Amino acid sequence: MKHELLIIFENEQVFSGALTYAREYAARTDARVTFLVLVAMSFSSFDFLGVKRKKLQEIETKTEKLLAQLTQVFIQKGLETSTALRIGDPSQELLKFLADRPSFQAIIWGSGQDLPFGGRVKKRHWLYPLSGHLECPLLTVTKR
Evaluate whether residue 43 is within a structural domain: yes
Residue 12 lies in a domain: yes
Query: What proportion of the chain, given as a percentage, has pLDDT over 90?
Result: 55
Specify if 100 maps to a domain: yes
pLDDT digits (tens, 9 = 90+) for 87-104: 999 999 999 999 988 889
CATH code of the domain in which 94 resides: 3.40.50.620
User: Domain range spanning residue 14?
Assistant: 4-139
In a domain, 65, yes or no: yes
What pLDDT band is residue 45 in, cutting at 50, 70 and 90?
low
Q: What is the pLDDT of residue 121?
A: 43
CA 37/CA 123 separation, integer angstroms: 21
The string of pLDDT tens digits covering residues 69-87 is 999 999 999 999 999 999 9
Q: Which residues contact 39 (CB under 8 A, 6 or more apart)?
A: 11, 12, 59, 63, 85, 86, 87, 90
User: Is the pLDDT score of 122 beyond 60?
Assistant: no
Determine, yes or no, domain membership for 110. Answer: yes
Q: What is the DSSP pairing of strand 106-109 with strand 4-10?
A: parallel
Residue 144 in any domain: the answer is no
Mean pLDDT of the chain: 86
Helices (H), the chain: 16-29, 49-76, 90-99, 128-131
User: Where does the pLDDT of residue 115 fall: very low under 50, low under 70, confident under 90, or very high at 90 and above?
Assistant: low
Domains of the chain: total: 1
pTM attached to this predicted model: 0.86
